[in-house]
Structure formats: C-alpha cells, structure tokens
Amino acid sequence: MKALPFLLSTTLLSVSLLGCSDPAPTDAKKSSTATAVEQAITVKQDNPLLQSWTGPYQGVPAFDQMQLADLKPALEQGMAAHLADIDKITANPDAPTFDNTIVALEGVGKELDRVFTYYGIWSSNKSSEDFRAIQREMAPKLSEFSSKITQNEALFNRIAAVYNSEQMQSLTPEQQRLTTLVYLGFANNGATLNAEQKQRYAAINLRLSQLYTQFSNNILADEENYALYLSKEQLGGLPESLVNAAAAAATSRGKEGMYAITNTRSSMDPFLTYSTERELRQQVWNTYYSRGDNNDAQDNNALITEILALRDERVGLLGFDNYATWRLQDRMAKSPDRAMNLMMSVWPAAIARVQEEVADMQALATQQGADITIEPWDYRFYAEQVRKAKYDLNSDEVKQYLQLDKLREAMFYVAGRLFNFNFTAVAEGSVPVFHEDVKVWEVTDKTSGEHIGLWYLDPFARSGKRSGAWATSYRGYSNYDGEKNVLSSNNSNFMKSAPGKPVLISWDDAETYFHEFGHALHALSSSVTYPTLNGGVRDYTEFQSQLLERWLLTDEVINQFLVHHETGEPMPAELVTKIKKAATFNEGFKTTEYLASAIIDLKLHMLDDPKGIDPDAFERDTLTAMGMPGELVMRHRTPQFGHVFSGEGYAAAYYGYMWAEVLTSDAAEAFAEAPGGFYDKDVAARLVEHLFSVRNAVDPEEAYRAFRGRDAKIEALMRDRGFPLPPAK
C-alpha cells in the first residue's frame, strides 16, 4: 500500500514523485477500467520497470535494465493497474471487513510500487535533464491519480465501515493500528469533503505537485552549475585528502590540472574549515547559502510563497486553523505548541553558547594578528583553530583514522553485536546495480543463517545525484504476503579520493554514516505483518538512526576499526580522550543552525494566513527578533530547504530531529547505566524488540515506555550538549 496517494509526498525520502509542468491529458480518461487493465498487462510483458523482480533473495530490482524511455509508459500503466485493483475492492458485493477491504488494500499497486523504486533512483541518484522533463510531464497525471484514490467515495465508505464497526474490537492491536492509520490517511486528506471541496482539494494538490519538483530541480541546478576552480597557489591550508578529492572532482568535469570545490555540503564544509584564503571562503560560503535565492530563473522564493498559501488553504478545507496543526495531530508532539516549546527551551542555551564560541574565535584571530571581525565564512575556520588551541585536537589528525571502508566494517560489527546480523558482500554482477559505485551485501542472522535481506551502498558524489545522505528501502518486510526479504540502501555524497588512496572523512561525516545506517537497520529489523506498518511517525523515525551514532565512540569500535590509514595502528588513547573532552565543542553552532531551520519551518506553517509572505524577509525578521547570532545562518536557509518545500515529508516537522534527540539521549543513558554498557545484551534485546522491529505497528510513546519503563526526559539531552538544565517546573 505504500503507493497510496497520501504517502506519495514522502515516498523516496521526501524526493517528490511529482513534476512541474502544466497539466497534460491523462490516459485514464481515454479508456475504461477493462481497457486499462489490458494495457497494463500488455506493457508488463514488455516493460522491465513493471516486471516482477526475479533472481535470488525473492527477486531484486532490475537496475541493469533501467531505460528512461520505459519510465513514462510504466508510470501510466502502473497507475491504471493500481486503480483497477481498487475497483475490485469497491466492486466486492460482500459487506466490508478487515480482510476484504483493509488487507486487500495492502496488496494493491504492486506494479506501481516497483516503478516508484526505479523512479526514486532517477530522482535521487542519477537525475538528468531528460528525467526532469518526464518528471514535469507526469506531475499532473500522478496528482490526478492520487486524488482519484483519496476521493474514491466507495473505497472510503468501505474503510470507514470497518473503522467504525464492532469488528474493530476483535482485531489484534496490530490490525487495529493498521485500520486506524488507513482510515486517518484518507480522512485527513480530503475523503470527508463534499464534491465542490474535493474538486478544489485536488486542484491544490495538482499545483503543489508542480511546485515541489520545480523547487527541487532549482536547487539541483544551482548545485550542478556552480563550482569554484582553484589553482595550486590557492590551496593554502587544505589537507591532502581534500586536495586529492578536489583534483578528482575537477578532472571529472574536464578541468584536469585544477581543483574543484563543488556547491555541495561535502565539499563546502571542509573547504570553509581549512582554507586560509578568506576571500575564497567568502565566495564558497555565499554560493552555497544562496542556492535558490539568486533572483534568477532558479529562485525559489515565489514558489515558497505559493506553496505556503496552498497548504494553508488545503487544510482550511478540512477545518484546521493552519498547516502545522493539521500536520502534527498524529505525531508524538501532537501540537505545534508542544514542538515549539521544546525548541524554545533549548534555544537560549544554544545562542548563549554561540556567543562564547565567537568570543573565543575573535580572541584567537586577534591574537594571531588578523584584523577582522568574525563573519559566517570564518566560523568553521576559526572554530577549528580554537579546537586545536583548547583541546589540542586537530580535525585532520582525527580524519587519518576515519577510513570509509573501515567505518563500514565498524557498522557491520555493531549490527552483529546488537542485532545479530552478519553482512557478506555478494559477488559482483550477481545482483544488478544502477551505477558502478554501488555495492551490495547479503544480511543474514548470525545464529541461524536465515536470510534477512540485502543492503545496497551508493557512497560517492557525482553529477545528477542529490546532495546529502539518506536511506531508503526498495522492499520492506511484510509477513502477511511472505515478502520477508528486505532490500535496504544507504546513499552518501563523499568525495572520491585519488586512485589508490583511501577515502578519509571527518568525524561529523562518520557520525552521519552511522546515522543513516541506523535507518537501514530499522528497516532490516522489521517484523511487522503489513506493508503500511513499515512507515513511521516523523518525529520518531530519526530516533533509531540518531541512537546508532553513539556506537562510533565505543572502545570496541575505536580499537578495531579507527586505525591509521598508513600505519594500521589504532587511534591513540590520548587522541580518543581529546575527542571525548571536545564532544560538546562547537555545540552552540550545531544546535543553533539546526534550531533556526526547525523554528522557521514551524513558524511558517503556524501562520493563519501566509498569503503574500516574503520568505526572505520572514526568515530575516523572525531570526532577528529571536536574537539569532549574526555569525551563522540556518543550516537550511528557506529558499534551499528541500526537506520542507520539495515535498511534505518534513514540512512543519523538521523539529522532529530534536524531538527524537530527546529519546536518543535518554535511551543512550539506559545503555551507559547497564552492566554491559553499550553492548549490554538485555538492553540491546529490548531495543530491537520494542524500538526497531515493531516499526509503526505500535504507538511510539507506548513503544518507548516498553523499552525504558517511563517517558524520555529532556534533561538527558541538555547533559549531552553540555547545556545548563532547564529550570524545574
């Protein structure tokens, strides 16, 4: 059921499935359901994107057969087959039951689900102008398809009949939760509206579908079209690993002999940290933080204004005061006020810490004879200088022990200790991949040898791949239909090293590597019965991944896997001590840049009337009123906030990272207090049983109480960040 319309906006990890062209006529209006089914069957025989997956492991995606020419017809026929599947449910003369309605709905749209897997690869991992043209053309069709399902009165009546019937009491808790999620998925997306309201609701979704992809493509264009090319004389301060990566990036762009700093975080961040060329730092900073905000054809500000107004109008049709209230009703936070209160309880401590950090940096710069005032493009550079001075900790020295391949082995080790998983590389060529960089591992149970799934890894940056790091699943676990072999993936944007050289990454990047692997483990651990229950509550699903970051600094990982890339010697104890002592260093910067983004997101969506808003002015004026330090900006400035405006996955929900961090800090203390520490078998067993395997089959608050015996407490978060505890209430 993952292709149902109210899931489309968050499918493929918030990369919208929808395009940005003017509406085109849909084939669905040209033919009857019977003809649509015949077309679907005909295309299925010829189109590899619609084919059932074959081969080992209950079948795998035919990534080696992906042809862009097949995508449009596959989407069209997948939608037709999906609608035909639903017609079979609504045509059933028997009274609605859990089995003939809710379970039946779980099985619809298998062909379209498979097409969306390939679509997600083109969208996230190998985008192109040709793909984006198809994306624009298909936007209206996908939006109309979504509306046809959510506005299918006969279907919703059957769902509502089950939800409101006495039979709900005889269902298992898992079945009750599934039924409730399905019912609310329709009710909260327009199924209860009258005919005129449904028509407007569908029109709004159609327009939003265009805007989301235009926003995303504008960011991608700014990332692809800008690069700073340096000569050897302009490399001052840059470590060898970054120089090698920049040389490789320039060569891949036809600029051999030069060095490219690309317009992505993985390239920008280390350059701003190490470059001694202040004017170049300013140029790189301005280019990166101006994405989508250059008053040109790729400017996103007008799109944001329209998106906010349409979202507000749409939830108004459902009777909600604002978008945030609608969005948070089924989240752990429950209301925007609770989410905002959490963030504002941390904000004062965060900006106070920034003031301390800036004072330290300014003093050091002055001591070094630099006649400057700290600006945003100086923050990372002087923070690194302060880190060296205060803690005798050199980030580049740490990086020598952070080899990408060794870190992957460390993640496998942790998965083996906590989840009893074993990872074995599959023979090259035995499982199709969509790019030569992608590698695949088989995941089995260490004790029984039972096959659990496959894990795909696409680690490196390249043109056409969206920036950042993310996890996704090509197939989730579902016991009811026997699809138990999970296909999970992690995707990163590390810069390739020179041939024969190891890929060395920063400590922050190593934490992100573990973080995204946590998402993969969440998918691989699933034991739910129904596909829909593999979804999640947005302000909870980051918890599992954030928690896994804690194992990076365990002794077992340090001693075995954090070894020097030349000598093979483990990281020295004194360096480990320095890292631990500096654990809360620069926490003001990290917390403030995140909170600024999350608060702006929520405030934008709490507006009762966002029509005509100027996003740049709102961002600037709101942050000024909050006392935002001038030495840094939001982690994701509004015109480039893809989490929020390329789809709806994190809209009014970016706060969820901090909500989940409260759980993370509290759960980490449970391990720290256990006899076996972070590898304690009893706590690990509770972790897997209550917090990983159940996915969304159990309410997150109930699941956490089952693990911890109580609710999480914010005090653990404040201790983790080195902030003073909030006043007792």
SS3 422: strand
- pLDDT of amino acid 40: 43
pLDDT at 85 over 90: yes
- pLDDT of amino acid 31: 35
Per residue in 391-402, pLDDT (tens digit) is 999 999 999 999
Decide the pairing of beta strands 486-494 and 451-460: parallel
Q: How many CB atoms lie within 10 A of CB 675?
A: 8
- Give the residue-averaged pLDDT of 21-30: 31
Residue 310 CB partners (closer than 8 Å, separation 6+): 204, 207, 208, 211
Spatial distance between the Cα atoms of 464 and 124, rounded to a whole number of angstroms: 8
Percent of the chain surpassing pLDDT 90: 88
pLDDT at 299 over 60: yes
The pLDDT confidence band at residue 576, using thresholds 50, 70 and 90, is very high
Contact 404, 266 (CB under 8 A): no
pLDDT at 15 over 70: no
Spatial distance between the Cα atoms of 505 and 468, rounded to a whole number of angstroms: 14
More confident residue, 729 or 130: 130
The pLDDT confidence band at residue 16, using thresholds 50, 70 and 90, is very low
Amino acid letter, residue 580: K
- pLDDT of amino acid 129: 92
Record the tokens describing residue 340, joined without a space: 């905002």
Contact 460, 252 (CB under 8 A): no
- pLDDT of amino acid 14: 33
Q: Return the ∠ at Cα 313 (arms to 308 and 319), rounded to 5°.
A: 125
DSSP codes of every residue in 9-54 = TTTTTT--S---S-----GGGTS-HHHHHHHHHHHHHH-TTTSPPB
Per residue in 250-266, pLDDT (tens digit) is 999 999 999 999 999 98
pLDDT at 388 over 50: yes
- Give the residue-averaged pLDDT of 608-621: 96
Q: How many CA atoms lie within 13 A of 64 on its CB side?
A: 11
SS3 424: strand
pLDDT at 20 over 60: no
- pLDDT of amino acid 538: 86
In 119-222, DSSP assigns E strands to none
Place of tokens 């002015």: 617
Spatial distance between the Cα atoms of 169 and 88, rounded to a whole number of angstroms: 26
Torsion of CA 271, 276, 281, 283, to 10 degrees: -120
Residue 31 CB partners (closer than 8 Å, separation 6+): 39, 80
- Give the residue-averaged pLDDT of 381-407: 95
Residue 493 CB partners (closer than 8 Å, separation 6+): 264, 265, 266, 460, 461, 465, 467, 468, 469
The whole-chain average pLDDT of the chain stands at: 92
- Give the residue-averaged pLDDT of 209-228: 93
Torsion of CA 76, 78, 82, 85, to 10 degrees: 120
60 backbone φψ class: left, alpha, beta (φ>0; ψ -120 to 50): beta
More confident residue, 728 or 207: 207
Report the candidate in 34, 3, 15, 55 with the shortest Cα–Cα distance to residue 431. 55
Q: Is 137 exposed, middle or buried (0-12, 13-18, 19+ CB in 10 A)?
A: middle
Spatial distance between the Cα atoms of 8 and 119, rounded to a whole number of angstroms: 12
Domains and CATH numbers, the chain: 5-192 (1.10.1370.40), 226-289 (no CATH)
Per residue in 513-545, pLDDT (tens digit) is 999 999 999 999 999 999 999 988 889 999 999
Q: How many CB atoms lie within 10 A of CB 99?
A: 11
What secondary structure, in 3-state letters, does 83-104 show? HHHHHHHHCCCCCCCHHHHHHH
pLDDT at 26 over 60: no
Per residue in 421-442, pLDDT (tens digit) is 999 999 999 999 999 999 999 9
CA distances 179 to 3, 97, 135, 542, 726, Å, are 17, 11, 32, 24, 40
- pLDDT of amino acid 476: 95
Element (H, E) at 589: helix 587-606
Q: How many CB atoms lie within 10 A of CB 427?
A: 8
- Give the residue-averaged pLDDT of 78-102: 97
Contact 605, 327 (CB under 8 A): yes
Per residue in 445-500, pLDDT (tens digit) is 999 999 999 999 999 999 899 888 999 999 999 998 888 899 999 999 998 988 88
- pLDDT of amino acid 726: 73
- pLDDT of amino acid 13: 30
Per residue in 562-573, pLDDT (tens digit) is 999 999 999 999
The pLDDT confidence band at residue 32, using thresholds 50, 70 and 90, is very low
Spatial distance between the Cα atoms of 34 and 44, rounded to a whole number of angstroms: 15
SS3 260: strand
- pLDDT of amino acid 729: 60
DSSP codes of every residue in 267-298 = HHHHHHHH---HHHHHHHHHHHHTTT-SSSTT
Q: How many CA atoms lie within 13 A of 489 on its CB side?
A: 26
SS3 239: coil
Contact 729, 715 (CB under 8 A): no
Record the tokens describing residue 330, joined without a space: 């089924």
